[in-house]
């Protein structure tokens, strides 16, 4: 229950468009689309919530096998 509360508290307010992409692999084919993907993955959310985590946190959940990692920030992070 505490882990769920921590995840909820870390979600950005307003439900606006996410402004973060951390991509790797040829053509940036493997991406995390949320700035908290790595944190959530460390807290076992890839297993607990695979329906959301696997498509949105591919890099952190190791869904793909990147060769190189590049970070792109789209807009200002809050």
Query: Residue 72: in which H helix or E strand, if any?
Result: strand 69-73
The answer to whether residue 77 scores a pLDDT higher than 50 is no
More confident residue, 3 or 44: 44
Cβ atoms 27, 1 nearer than 8 A: no
The answer to whether residue 4 scores a pLDDT higher than 90 is no
The DSSP code for 29 is -
Strands (E), 1-78: 20-24, 30-32, 69-73
Prediction pTM value: 0.57
* Residue pLDDT, tens place only, 47-73: 999 999 999 999 999 998 766 444 554
């Amino acid at each position: 229950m505490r882990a769920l509360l921590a995840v909820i508290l870390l979600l950005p307010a307003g439900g606006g468009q996410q402004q973060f992409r951390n991509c790797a692999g040829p053509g940036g084919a493997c991406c995390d689309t949320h700035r908290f993907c790595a944190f959530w993955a460390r807290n076992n959310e890839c297993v607990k919530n695979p329906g959301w985590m696997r498509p949105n946190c591919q890099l952190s959940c190791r869904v793909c096998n990147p060769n190189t990692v590049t970070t792109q920030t789209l807009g200002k992070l809050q």
